[in-house]
Structure 1
Amino acid sequence: MDLCHVPATREKGWYLALMAPNVKGPNYAWLDPSRLYCHPQGLQDCVADLLQPFQGDAIDMVAGIDAMGFILGAAAAATLQKGFLAIRKAGHLCVQTVAQPYSDYSGREKVMEVRTDAISPGVAAICMENSEGGKWIQEHYKCSHCVPPRLQPRFDQHQFGWD
């Protein structure tokens, strides 16, 4: 898709075609969303779609996970006129934190940290895949994503077509 092109009819998820497939191997995420972030209308529509299920909800803050989550999280926070909380890789915060181990997209064990002085209970999540972790998140938290149902099986299998 041309970086400047905006379809005449903008269906939910139209901007997903802006993402590029991984060409560097298993140590990288299967998709690169940076071209979507560069597209003004694509980014705006993506954030609007992600926030739609939370219309009317009392939102105090938006959090995003290091590093790509910083971009959509900060955009969502700015749209909502709320603050943004960065959930960082272990060792990057110089304040009191809570740590959580996890496995990343390549199966590597890692630890994420979040500062303890900025949050209180109550979580919602944006989750793109119906992976084991994604299903757990969806069962435990209010979730949103921007993948249309017809494309979900392709995202789950990490096979999104670029025409």
Structure 2
Amino acid sequence: MDLCHVPATREKGWYLALMAPNVKGPNYAWLDPSRLYCHPQGLQDCVADLLQPFQGDAIDMVAGIDAMGFILGAAAAATLRKGFLAIRKAGHLCVQTEAQPYSDYSGRQKLMELRTDAISPGVAAICMESSEGGKWIQERYKCSHCVPARLQPRFDQHQLGWD
């Protein structure tokens, strides 16, 4: 998709076609979203779709996990005029933290941390894949994602093939 092109009819997820598949191997995520971030309307529509289920909710802060979560979370926070909390890889924060182990997209075990002085109870999540961890989150928290239901099986199998 051309970086300047905006479809006449913008359905949820139209901007996903801006993303490119991984060509560097298994140590990288299967999909690169950086072209989506460069497309002004695509980024705006993605953030709007992610925030749609939370319309009318009292939101104090937006948090995001590493890389994609930093970019989309900060964009969502700016849209909502709220603060942004970065959830970082262990060892990157120089303040008191809470830590949580997790497995990343390559199956590697890692530890994430967030500062404890900036949060209070109450969680929602934005997910992209129907992974084991994603399903666990969706069962416990209010969630949102920008992948239309008809495309979810393709994303779960790490395939593109846009309609």
Q: TM-score range by the shorter chain?
A: over 0.9
Structure 1 counterpart of 2:5: 5
When normalised by structure 2's length, the TM-score is 0.98
Q: CA RMSD in A?
A: 0.9
How far the C-alpha of 1:57 sits from its partner, in A, is 0.2
Task: Give runs of aligned pairs for residues 68-79 of structure 1, distance below 5 A.
Answer: 68-79=68-79
Q: Where does structure 1 lack aligned partners over 5 or more consecutive residues?
A: none
Query: What SS is found at the alignment partner of 1:117?
Result: helix
Q: Distance in 1 between matches of 2:132 and 2:64?
A: 20
Q: Distance in 1 between matches of 2:45 and 2:121?
A: 29
Q: Where does structure 2 lack aligned partners over 5 or more consecutive residues?
A: none
Query: What SS is found at the alignment partner of 2:69?
Result: helix
* Cα deviation digits, residues 75-113 of structure 1 (max 9, x gap): 000000000000000010000000111110001111000
Query: What SS is found at the alignment partner of 1:136?
Result: helix
CA distance 1:123–1:63, change in 2 (3 Å): same
How far the C-alpha of 1:161 sits from its partner, in A, is 1.7
How far the C-alpha of 1:67 sits from its partner, in A, is 1.7
How far the C-alpha of 1:68 sits from its partner, in A, is 1.7
Query: What SS is found at the alignment partner of 1:112?
Result: strand
Query: What SS is found at the alignment partner of 1:155?
Result: helix
Q: Distance in 2 between matches of 1:123 and 1:13?
A: 24
How far the C-alpha of 1:46 sits from its partner, in A, is 0.2
Structure 1 counterpart of 2:35: 35
* Cα deviation digits, residues 96-146 of structure 1 (max 9, x gap): 000111110001111000000000110000001111111001001000001
Q: Distance in 2 between matches of 1:105 and 1:50?
A: 21
Query: What SS is found at the alignment partner of 2:91?
Result: coil
How far the C-alpha of 1:160 sits from its partner, in A, is 1.2
What is the total number of aligned residue pairs between the two structures?
Answer: 163
How far the C-alpha of 1:148 sits from its partner, in A, is 0.7
Q: Distance in 2 between matches of 1:122 and 1:106?
A: 29
* Cα deviation digits, residues 39-75 of structure 1 (max 9, x gap): 0000000000000000000000000001221000000
Query: What SS is found at the alignment partner of 2:147?
Result: coil
Flag as ranges the 4+ runs of structure 1 deviating above 4 A.
none
How far the C-alpha of 1:162 sits from its partner, in A, is 5.7
Q: Distance in 2 between matches of 1:48 and 1:104?
A: 26
